[in-house]
Structure 1
Amino acid sequence: MLNKLKIALPIVVAAATLSTASLANALGNFYKGKTITITIPYGPGGTYDKYGSSFSNHLGRELPGNPTLIMQYMPGAGGSRAMNWFANIAPKQGYNLLVPLDNTIVNQLLRPKKMKYNANDFTWLGSSNQTNSVICIRSDSGVKKVADMKRIKTVASVTGPASSTFLFISLASYLLDWKVKIVAGYKGSSRAMFAVEQGETQMTAPNWLAWGSKVPHWFVGKNPFARCILQNGYEEDPAPAMKGVPMLTDLIKPEDKPLALFLASAGPLGRGLVLPPGAPKRLVAPLRAAYDRM
């Protein structure tokens, strides 16, 4: 058996090397001396920006010709402005990529007249993160657990009506009978969080990646600045700070769980990259391979 493995392993490695070389050859000099633009559907400073920066810093090295990658920010309407632009107006030659909204499919189904795209028409190159949406609230709001939201009036900051923060808070408020006012219009999760910090609002609901990377100090100590009270996803977020934070699906009626799971579909999409509809099909396999190598 060991001898067979010794023989098989080099064959597998060689096959993988040839496959990678073949995909690289498929691109030829397509990207040599070119610039690829990555569109971010929110403003600078958010998690979409962080992932876009990582892609722009590393993807070019994995592509033949080592193209230059730049980013453009297109905030507005909870990210749907960029989605609509990318589907209908963005150049389709293969030099434009988008970090898509995690709730791309949810928005398309809930707001078909506003969403001028079909998610199936995008070519998805990969996904880099899966995380739960999490509602966290200032400790001085008086809310210590999710049940307190039924009796305490609160104010939430969100980006727009197409954002996952708006949808999650709206659904939780409806299903759990909360007394919450939602203020929309903040340009990205960072500004929504800043509103919480400044006291303009008391809560918001990006994913845990955003909370943990931007304001982890909010949740430490005996008297933390804020506490997380509810999460939504297909399973509990493994982050240590999420231990004991209830899942929305555990607090609602069985007949309402499909609604929560529908919103949770945003989690597996994560932060990735897509090509616009109509982009050359020959670019798909090499770009996906380059994405995997990042």
Structure 2
Amino acid sequence: MTIKTLATSVAAIALMAAPAVAEVDFSGKTIEWVIPFSETGGSAKWANFFAPLLSQELPGQPTVVVKFMPGAGSTKGANWFQEQEHGDGTLLFGTSGSTQFPYLLNDPRVRYEYNDWIPVMASGTGGVAYLNAEDGKKFDGSANGLKDVDFIFGSQGATGLDLVPLLAWKMLGMNVEPVFGIKGRGDGRLMFERGEATIDYQTSSGYLSGAADLVAAGTAVPMMSWGALDENGVIVRDPTFPDMPSFKEVCEATEGCEAEGVAWDAWKAFFIAGYPSQKIAFLPKGTPQDVVDTYVDAFTAVRARPDFAEIASNEVGEYPLFVGAGAQKAAAEATVVSDEAKAYVIDWLKTSYGVTLE
């Protein structure tokens, strides 16, 4: 036997003797997908939509259970997740713009760090503002007829995702008084249904699953969507609501509102941080790469389903789904705004609501 043959034989025997690398298998396990909001809002709709699809694509087809941990505008749940470390790959966490904004604004309640978490999936969404039937008669594509109306709005807090509509309504010259303290956007919709609020907005999934029924019943009138970004970064109509004007269109039609300048730039910066990459699924810090890859592969398979575009359109809207490197890029874009936009918003929050972020 030659030295070369001997070396080859020894290598082959060693390879046969080495233990095989175990593939990730979730058979018989339960995945807990924690959402830091109540079970009534758009994030609940989002997670509940993806949970069974994820279950079908993960190896072993584990049960994926969505659990809710509302409180403090989602910072309670995010602070809890920050303390979690990888166990066995059975913990997933979902964030929204209301989790990202306090982080961006240096809210003192924030004890979490996005850079510690591992994004595996991200999806965009939109939002729709709507009025009660009486005030809806005064809406003509502009807010000119709404400036003398005193509106009530059920809000999770001015530093969360509600920042986008509150600033938009302010730019339109509308008088909107927020009632802070609700735990989810679905609770805001319930206030609107009971007549305790006269204006509301929902993210696309929440609008499609609940508020659209109010419009169909004639008790709500859609005002505008926030819009969407085209490939050049310009605000255009939301593809899920193509017949509805965007905020930019309503602003341009309203006296005193300008779709340019400092206020517009600040609104657009937080819109971008809060909507095109709004909802993100994270694994905890320390998760091994093979587990990360398994989740990325599963969400990739979900996206590749031939019926995905149709069922997603009906449930969560027509928005891109990012996985792997795309999710990492989306998470990075959702957690950065310019110093100028941040300074404008911090000053507006203090002046309008007495919110001081130190």
* TM-score interval for Structure 1 and Structure 2 normalised by the shorter chain: 0.7 to 0.9
The 5 A counterparts of 1:3-152 are 28-88=23-83, 90-93=84-87, 94-128=89-123, 130-141=124-135, 143-144=138-139, 145-152=142-149
Q: Which runs of no fewer than 5 residues in structure 2 stay unpaired?
A: 1-19, 230-235, 303-358
Determine which structure has more spread, i.e. the larger CA radius of gyration. 2
CA–CA distance in structure 2, aligned partners of residues 60 and 212 of structure 1: 24
Determine helix, strand or coil for the equivalent of 1:92. Answer: coil
Following the alignment from structure 1 to structure 2, what is the Cα–Cα distance between the partners of residues 27 and 40?
Answer: 30
Q: What CA RMSD, in Å, does the superposition of the two structures yield over aligned residues?
A: 2.5
On the 8 A contact 1:106/1:262 being kept in 2, the answer is no
- Distance in 2 of aligned mates of 1:188 and 1:197: 15
What's the TM-score once normalised by structure 1's chain length?
0.80
Mapping of residues 204-243 of structure 1, within 5 Å: 204-220=200-216, 224-233=218-227, 234=229, 235-240=236-241, 242-243=243-244
Question: Which residue of structure 2 lines up, in the alignment, with residue 178 of structure 1?
Answer: 174
Provide the TM-score with structure 2 as the length reference.
Answer: 0.67
Determine whether 1:260 maps to 2:267: yes
> How many residues are matched?
265
Tell whether 2:150 aligns with 1:153: yes
Equivalent of 2:299 in 269, 276, 291: 291
- Segments of structure 1 that go 5 or more residues without pairing to the other structure are 1-24
Distance 1:229 1:54 in 2: 26
- Structure 2 counterpart of 1:4: none
Report the CA distance between 1:196 and its aligned residue. Answer: 0.5
How far apart in 2 are the matches of 1:168 and 1:55? 25
- The 1:220/1:35 distance shift into structure 2, 3 A limit, reads closer
Contact 2:164 2:271 survives alignment (8 Å) = no
Task: Determine helix, strand or coil for the equivalent of 1:116.
Answer: coil
Aligned residue in 2 for 1:22: none
Distance 1:194 1:79 in 2: 19
Which piece of structure 1 moves more, 150-159 or 191-200? Answer: 150-159
Corresponding residue for residue 9 of structure 2:
none
1:27 deviation in Å? 6.4
Distance 1:192-1:269 versus aligned 2 partners, 3 A rule? same
